A and B are shown apart, each in its own frame.
Chain A
């Protein structure tokens, strides 16, 4: 079946602009994760959604970052007033349940964000 998809694949923006990144998880997966991959910080967790529960936002680096998940499926990560240090590849992953079972997280191809 289809894997995790993300759009856009590349995004170039100017400092101070807002951006929205989209993630479509694997159909039937209830858990969704956002990670960020950057040269200086490696792969870091941003936020986790599980079903209708309140998301775990513990990894969001600042209040300029927010995410939502509509209808338990598609998710949007929004970065307001982008800064150059936000430049990174943003990866989305989904897993079947994400609760007590050690589910495998399957990753999308990522969105490469460049802030000029």
Chain B
């Protein structure tokens, strides 16, 4: 069965500093990995995904994520955080076996202080 772990409930970072939101996964086949962001009282917004190819994936709003197969991780990163990045971030995985549902992590709240 597929699973995703986001080990940190909250990440605090000062504006202008780099940020990392951690995600590890478990799938039986090749993973398809996704990051979504949720602002208060809003749905999920797609940030980026890893399917195959380069391990470093670039996405929206300056975010990127690094796929590491040996560590089964897909950490979300941004070189310089903005206060407006404060939100709830979800990592999700789908395996390549055709089963369509996304399995989500529990979410990490990012708080960027001015």
Contacts and interface: CB of A to CB of B under 8 A. Distances in A.
- What band does the interface of chain B fall in when counting residues whose beta carbon is under 8 Å from A? 20 to 34
A38 B46 CA distance: 20
Contact of A31 (B94, B98, B100): B100
Interface string B88-114: 001010101010111111110000000
B49 interface: yes
Contacts of B41: 109
Contacts of B92: 43
Given A42-B107, A43-B90, A108 B43 contact: yes
A91 interface: yes
Contact of A50 (B45, B49, B100): B100
Given A33-B101, A45-B103, A56-B101, A109 B43 contact: yes
A59 B99 CA distance: 12
A38 B102 CA distance: 16
A102 B32 contact: yes
Interface string B44-71: 1110010100000000000000000000
B96 A107 contact: no
A102 B101 contact: no
A91 B43 contact: yes
B34 interface: yes
A98 interface: yes
B101 A48 contact: yes
User: Would you list the 5 A-B pairs with minimal beta carbon distance, nearest first?
Assistant: A45-B101, A43-B104, A102-B32, A107-B43, A107-B44
Interface of B: 32, 34, 36, 41-46, 49, 51, 90, 92, 94, 96, 98, 100-107
Interface of A: 4, 6, 31, 33, 35, 42-45, 48, 50, 56, 58-59, 91, 93, 98-100, 102, 104-110
Given A91-B44, A102-B32, A107-B36, 6 more contacts: A31-B100, A43-B92, A93-B44, A99-B98, A102-B96, A104-B49
